Amino acid sequence: MNTNCKGVWLIFLAALMLAGCQTNQVTTQTSELASSASVPSSQEQAQRLLSQNPKLTTVYIFVPKLLRATDYANSMNGRTANLRVNLNGKTIAILPVQRGLKLELLPNQQYNFVYGEDWEQQNEHMLRKVVLKTLAPGTFKAFDVYTEMEHANVAEVKRLTVNETLDRLNSYAMVQAKVPMPEIALAANGFNQQLDSCLKQNELPPCQQLVQRLPKGFAPNSIVEHIKLIETEQARKQQLIAMEEALPTSVRRDKYMVQLSSFLKKQNYKAALDVFPKLEALPIATDPSLKYFYGEALLKTNQHAKAMQKLYQYINEQGTSATHYAQALEMINDAESKL
């Protein structure tokens, strides 16, 4: 290379090294990392590479080199670049060159990472957006994330083999994440949707199933408190049921009839449907028109087949002289037309 060409090259390199100080404009790319996981071939490798928690899978990020972390870049800029690792817009780690990060994540989930050079939080650039898919427990994924002159506008990501990962672990120091690992693990795309679904319901099974899939201590406080509230409410209801069942049968019948009458007057048919089975279960006689009103409530809540069943029972039991005979036939025809 002649002197003039060498001078042009050095000027270009210096300009590139300084570019990060002058602009916040970044180049972004989106990529989806390989769907296949790495599996250790021995127990010794498994002990070294996998999470000790059987409900988690492991991801490693290593930084072999950065364009602005060389001695020349440091002399030009007075500082050295690191790799910033963001997850859902939050910085979870800052990695110097020849350092690594171990993440223990939920299996079979997707995580939205962004990798890019960072200069003491003054500038981020050469960003790459990555959708990382975790797979089953007992597997791991490992990557080199770096920047170089050949692709100076975006961070590069290279998948590592089992042996390459072991070599990195032997030669690179590991950096502690800036965010607690449970918070990182729960940042999976699908988990927040499942959490929202649980919190919007007053039923235990969806929340309990979600917690059971998580490692011990990973469940967020919101779901733990929600489960406690549901359990407290269910215990209160069971206590009321026990008190109610201790009443004489005739008193329970009167109580249910008063309750049912109130619901029907207010046209609260959904609430009324909770009372009918209680009345039918009593071992004493009830109002002859009970099945008629039961059928009406079912019809009003769009349960047409069940409504017809109750109304037919009413007519069969009470006959053509039933108080609501004509109305029952009209409702049967109405329900039949909507099947």
Q: Read off the pLDDT of residues 154-163 as tens digits, 9 standing for 90 and up.
A: 788 999 999 9
Q: What confidence score (pLDDT) does residue 11 get?
A: 40
- Average the pLDDT over 226-248 and give the result: 93
pLDDT tens per residue, range 19-78: 444 334 444 444 445 667 889 999 999 999 999 999 999 999 999 998 876 665 555 555
Sequential DSSP letters for 274-333: TTHHHHHHSSS---TTHHHHHHHHHHHTT-HHHHHHHHHHHHHHH-TT-TTHHHHHHHHH
- Residue 296 exposure: Cα atoms within 13 Å on the Cβ side: 18
DSSP 108: T
d(CA 185, CA 57): 10
Q: What confidence score (pLDDT) does residue 202 get?
A: 85
Percent of the chain with pLDDT over 70: 83
Quote the mean pLDDT of the chain: 86
Sequential DSSP letters for 1-15: --HHHHHHHHHHHHH
pLDDT tens per residue, range 163-197: 999 999 999 999 999 999 999 999 998 888 888 88
How do beta strands 173-174 and 110-118 pair? unpaired
User: What stretch(es) of the chain map to CATH 1.25.40.10?
Assistant: 248-337
CATH class of the domain whose range is 248-337: mainly alpha
How do beta strands 30-32 and 57-63 pair? unpaired
pTM of the model: 0.67
Q: What confidence score (pLDDT) does residue 150 get?
A: 64
